[in-house]
Amino acid sequence: MRGPFWKLRHRFGISAPRVEIHSQIPWYWRWAGIAVLLAISAISAAWIYDAGRRFAGFDEGEVKEELMRVSSELDAARAELERLRAIANAADSRVSIERTAQQKLAQQIRVLEQENARVREELATFESMLSSEARSGQALTVYRFKVEPEVLPGEYRYRLLLVTPSARREREFNGRLELVVSLQDAGRNVMMSFPEAADSGAAAFRLAFKYFRRVEGTFRVSPKAKVESVQVRVYETGSNQPRATHTVAL
């Protein structure tokens, strides 16, 4: 039979049920522990990742150093390129200056050659003037009459030398010069005289000299016209008949 002490023996005796005692931990300590565990896990993962990259041959520090080295080499290459460009530009400038100087020198040489040819022609002219035939001449003489096209279309340059006869070299010759140009323009034969009546440059055709006179000038015709011949006529003041004429064909 169960006595009154049975419940006490059953509750506190050997056959009593086991009791577990749990300590009560505050919630913030639990979250702090979880945070510590997460931080340790993150650090461990980063260390393992970095160790793995190093083990595989990838080092971020080395990569940064390599990038800095490549960037430095690139800057040096750019500086060298700019230096070479400056040298090339200077060389181009020198070549351009030398080319311009050569062109000017060639032009001066051509001018000197033309001047030399003109001097030789004039020397030959004066030598012929000193011949017995020239000294005994009684008429005004035209020497070295030339007509040449200029750079501009339709423009021509003429040159000639006038010499007075020995019989009248004691007095001055006064007169004028006239050019008669024969040309073809639009299929028509045309004759033009210079200077024209209203030509403002008529004064350039006036003559006043005692022994000889070198004459040089230009005239213009239509750019499409073809000049066939040019005749020079020399008139003395007060006379309508030319004292001397000379014709050249082009």
Within 10 A of 202 (CB to CB), how many other CB atoms are there?
Answer: 14
Residue 143's pLDDT is 85
Q: Which of 104, 130, 156 is the last residue of a domain?
A: 130
Please give the model's pTM, rounded to 2 decimal places: 0.52
Number of domains in the chain: 2
Question: Per-10-residue mean pLDDT for the chain, 250 residues long?
Answer: 56 57 59 69 66 58 73 82 83 82 86 82 69 60 89 92 75 90 91 78 82 88 92 91 91
What is the Rg, in whole angstroms, of the alpha carbon atoms belonging to the chain?
A: 58
Asked if 176 and 235 sit in the same domain, the reply is yes
CA 16 to chain centre: 115
CA–CA separation, 227 and 185 (whole Å): 9
In a domain, 69, yes or no: no
In a domain, 209, yes or no: yes
Asked if 126 and 145 sit in the same domain, the reply is no
Structure token digits, residue 157: 């340059």
Q: Which of 101, 130, 159 is the last residue of a domain?
A: 130
Q: Which residues pair with 179 in a beta bridge?
A: 194, 232
Asked if 123 and 173 sit in the same domain, the reply is no
Q: Is 173 in contact with 208 (CB distance < 8 Å)? A: yes
Domain that holds residue 107: 80-130
User: Tens digit of pLDDT for each residue in 76-95?
Assistant: 878 888 888 888 888 778 88
CATH of the domain at 241: 2.60.40.10
Asked if 145 and 126 sit in the same domain, the reply is no
Structure token digits, residue 12: 């506190």
In a domain, 226, yes or no: yes
CA–CA separation, 98 and 113 (whole Å): 22
User: Tens digit of pLDDT for each residue in 221-244?
Assistant: 999 999 999 999 999 988 889 999
Buried residues in 93-114 as b, exposed as e (16+ CB within 10 A) = eeeeeeeeeeeeeeeeeeeeee
